[in-house]
């Protein structure tokens, strides 16, 4: 019997932090630059005490902990029960709910937040699904003057992605990694402000706002 995606992440939860640290230390795919990506997300979010923040894909709570330490009011989400169990232990000050981001959302999410942040989650979705989710967030869940900050696996263009695929063939998974020169024009065409920053060979950060300036 094949596992569904949430079950795959449930099984990975115990080793996730170790695997992330090793990949970051080795500057290898998929988590090269991980700590810098998270730091960049926190910086672009302009985290401060009392800021309400919706986090998509909390995992074991590494990004959650950074925001909570700065006094943000964090509501974290993930579709993996085991990841959330570890996040709750890691960041007891935050609140967490289990949710499939492409499915129905629980009532706790039916509000607006000063910020939406996410790391290493959006590569699970193809570009149309990414855009649909971001438009939903911008229109229905973001406070005035709010922003969405995403840290993820991404590349400036398809040749850079293909080079990474060749270099790390043994570690490579075929997922929907950000390709900046495709995604940024598509996001802007969908009525979103969008900018992209390459942090490492495969780590990136995007800043999304409700409308292009």
* Phi/psi of residue 104, nearest 5 degrees: -75, 140
pLDDT for the residue 107 = 96
Structural domain span for residue 164: 5-209
pLDDT for the residue 13 = 86
At 87-103, the pLDDT tens digits run 999 999 999 999 999 99
Find the CATH number of the domain harbouring 160. Answer: 3.40.50.150
pLDDT for the residue 78 = 97
DSSP three-state, residue 74: strand
Q: What are the residue ranges in the chain where pLDDT is below 50? A: 1-2, 212-213
> DSSP string spanning 77-92?
EES-HHHHHHHHHH-T
pLDDT for the residue 4 = 59
**How many domains would you assign to the chain?**
1
Entry pTM: 0.95
pLDDT for the residue 88 = 98
């Amino acid at each position: 019997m094949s596992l569904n995606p949430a079950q795959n992440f449930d099984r990975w939860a115990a080793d996730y932090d170790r695997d992330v640290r090793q990949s970051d230390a080795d500057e290898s795919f998929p988590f090269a630059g991980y700590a810098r990506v998270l730091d960049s997300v926190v910086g672009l979010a302009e985290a401060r005490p009392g800021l309400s923040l919706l986090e998509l894909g909390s995992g074991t709570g590494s990004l959650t902990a950074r925001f909570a330490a700065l006094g943000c009011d964090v509501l974290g989400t993930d579709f993996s029960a085991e990841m959330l169990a570890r996040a709750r232990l890691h960041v007891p000050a935050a609140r967490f709910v289990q949710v499939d981001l492409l499915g129905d959302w629980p009532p706790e999410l039916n509000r607006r937040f000063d910020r939406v942040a996410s790391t290493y989650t959006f590569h699970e979705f193809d570009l149309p699904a990414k855009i649909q989710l971001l438009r939903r967030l911008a229109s229905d869940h973001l406070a005035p003057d709010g922003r969405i900050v995403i840290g993820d696996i991404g590349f400036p263009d398809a040749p850079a992605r293909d080079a990474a695929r060749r270099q790390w063939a043994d570690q490579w998974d075929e997922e929907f990694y950000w390709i900046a020169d495709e995604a940024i024009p598509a996001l802007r065409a969908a009525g979103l402000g969008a900018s992209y920053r390459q942090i490492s060979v495969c780590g990136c950060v995007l800043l999304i706002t409700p409308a292009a300036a």
